[in-house]
């Protein structure tokens, strides 16, 4: 299972963290610090796996962002690379050629998409189209709710006049 997902920028800034195993806030900070030290310093041609505290961290760099997932020793590292790529493709489809800024300003969207992809550290949906469809459906639910509230406020405002 995936213990956690991290997105770290090349400067070591955290862009997304998702924890599927229990780590206290203090441990989380420590983990992030340790791993950014380990991963950001690795050269470009090396393999995408780092052994860390008896676990493996699979990472892949896309532009300025490192996508890292921590897994058990007996998990399939190559598959995790595919899952990372899967996530990146869904993000790309959602934002339309995604960049780091998209993930900064719409970090909650990145989380929503991840939640449609992984639950309890396991893969949930292999189809990118289904993920995109589900996220879009929920986004439109939010939009309708917003429109409703604004129309209600309008009505109230008009009535108050």
Q: How far is the CB of 19 from another protein (least distance, A)?
A: 7
Identify the residue whose tokens are 């899952």.
Answer: 83
Q: Which residue number, 61 or 128, has a Cβ lying nearer to another protein?
A: 128
Supply the minimum distance, in Å, between the C-beta of residue 145 and another protein.
5
Closest CA to 115 of 101, 106, 125: 125
- What span, in angstroms and rounded, lies between the C-alpha atoms of 23 and 17? 12
Cα(69)–Cα(49) distance, integer angstroms: 10
Contact status: 45 vs another protein (CB under 8 A):
yes
Work out the angle between the directed axes of helices 128-160 and 77-95 (0-180°, nearest 10).
Answer: 40
Site for another protein in 9-28 (CB under 8 A): 14-20, 22-25
Q: Where are the beta strands (DSSP E) in 12-158?
A: 14-19, 49-52, 55-62, 65-71, 118-119, 122-123
Q: Does 35 bind another protein (CB under 8 A)?
A: no
From 12, 122, 136, 154, residue interacting with another protein (rule: CB under 8 A): 122
Q: Which residues bind another protein (CB under 8 A)?
A: 14-20, 22-25, 29, 43, 45-51, 76-79, 81-83, 86, 104-105, 107-108, 111-112, 115, 119-120, 122-130, 134, 137-138, 141-142, 145-146
């Amino acid at each position: 299972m995936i213990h956690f997902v991290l997105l770290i920028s090349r400067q070591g800034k955290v862009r997304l963290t998702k924890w599927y195993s229990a780590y206290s806030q203090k441990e989380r900070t420590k983990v992030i610090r340790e791993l950014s030290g380990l991963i950001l310093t690795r050269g470009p041609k090396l393999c995408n796996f780092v052994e860390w505290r008896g676990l493996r961290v699979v990472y892949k760099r896309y532009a300025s962002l490192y996508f890292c997932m921590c897994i058990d020793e007996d998990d399939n590292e190559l598959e995790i690379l595919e899952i990372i790529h899967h996530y990146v493709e869904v993000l790309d489809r959602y934002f339309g050629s995604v960049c780091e800024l998209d993930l900064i300003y719409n970090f909650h969207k990145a989380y929503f998409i991840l939640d449609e992809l992984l639950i309890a550290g396991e893969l949930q949906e292999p189809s990118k189209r289904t993920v995109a469809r589900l996220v879009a459906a929920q986004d439109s639910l939010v939009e309708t709710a917003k429109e409703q509230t604004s129309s209600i406020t309008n009505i109230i405002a008009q009535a108050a006049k």
